[in-house]
Each structure stands twice: as C-alpha cells, then as structure tokens.
C-alpha cells in the first residue's frame, strides 16, 4: 500500500503577514512615542505640540516622529530655558530612551497578531 503526503509551503503568505504586522506595529510604536513626547513638549500656545507628526517609510520599515515649527530644534536642545512644570527640553529624545521597551513590545504584539 502506498502512502502519499503533500507538503505545501505558505512562506510567502507568512512573510507578507509578518511584514504587515511589522508596519502596523511600527506605526503604533511611533504614535506611542509621539503621545509620550507631547506630554513633555513645552507649551506656550500649543503650536509646537500640535505640529508633532508620525511618518512611516513602508519600503524600509522605518518610522519618524517630528515636530515642524521654526523653533522646534532649538526648543528641544536649549537646556537653559525655563519651562512650565512637567515640560522640558529633550521632549523627544528622553521618551525615545525611556519608551524603547514599550515600543518593542507594541511592534512584537502586532507581528504576533498578524501571524494568527
């Protein structure tokens, strides 16, 4: 009696799902960073805070969080300026350091979710 087995590879579908999950996770992680940085952005009129945005380069799986005002960089780097309580210079750099693990977990969760 002959036994026949057939093995089908779904690696292409798995890689597609994994990439889709990574993209979703990357965007969510960047949004998380944006939210955390907005909690620290110096506020006068709120213009700087409102200028924060997330952009994702899907082709290279990269994300960026940026603030787009003429004074965003100076406000970020000037350590001698006084800010309201809870607000600070390094409003993007600090949460980028402190939230790394949370952002990794967000990305990993989305990849796992996409592979179900």
Is the Cβ–Cβ distance between 35 and 52 less than 8 Å?
A: no
Beta-sheet pairing, 53-57 with 62-66: antiparallel
To 10 degrees, what angle do helices 11-38 and 100-114 make? 150
Give the residue among 14, 17, 26, 95 at the shortest CA–CA distance from 55.
Answer: 26
| pLDDT mean over 4-23 | 85
- The per-residue pLDDT for 96 is 97
- The per-residue pLDDT for 42 is 96
- The per-residue pLDDT for 2 is 83
The CA dihedral of 105, 87, 90, 22, to the nearest 10 degrees, is: 20
Give the residue among 1, 83, 5 at the shortest CA–CA distance from 48.
Answer: 83
Instruction: Note if the pTM is more than 0.95.
Output: no
Residue 13's pLDDT band, with cuts at 50, 70 and 90, is: confident
- The per-residue pLDDT for 92 is 97
Q: Please give the Cα distance from 17 to 112 (Å, whole number).
A: 9
Is the Cβ–Cβ distance between 53 and 34 less than 8 Å?
A: yes
pLDDT digits over 45-98, tens only? 999 999 999 999 999 999 999 999 999 999 999 999 999 999 999 999 999 999
Residue 21's pLDDT band, with cuts at 50, 70 and 90, is: very high
């Amino acid at each position: 009696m002959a036994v026949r087995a057939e093995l089908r590879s779904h690696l292409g579908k798995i890689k597609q799902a994994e990439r889709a999950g990574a993209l979703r996770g990357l965007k969510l992680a960047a949004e998380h960073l944006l939210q955390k940085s907005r909690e620290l952005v110096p506020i006068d009129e709120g213009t700087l805070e409102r200028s924060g945005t997330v952009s994702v380069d899907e082709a290279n799986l990269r994300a960026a969080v940026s603030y787009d005002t003429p004074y965003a960089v100076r406000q970020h780097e000037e350590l001698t300026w006084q800010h309201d309580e809870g607000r600070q210079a390094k409003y993007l750099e600090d949460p980028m350091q402190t939230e790394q693990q949370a952002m990794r977990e967000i990305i990993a969760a989305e990849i796992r979710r996409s592979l179900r």
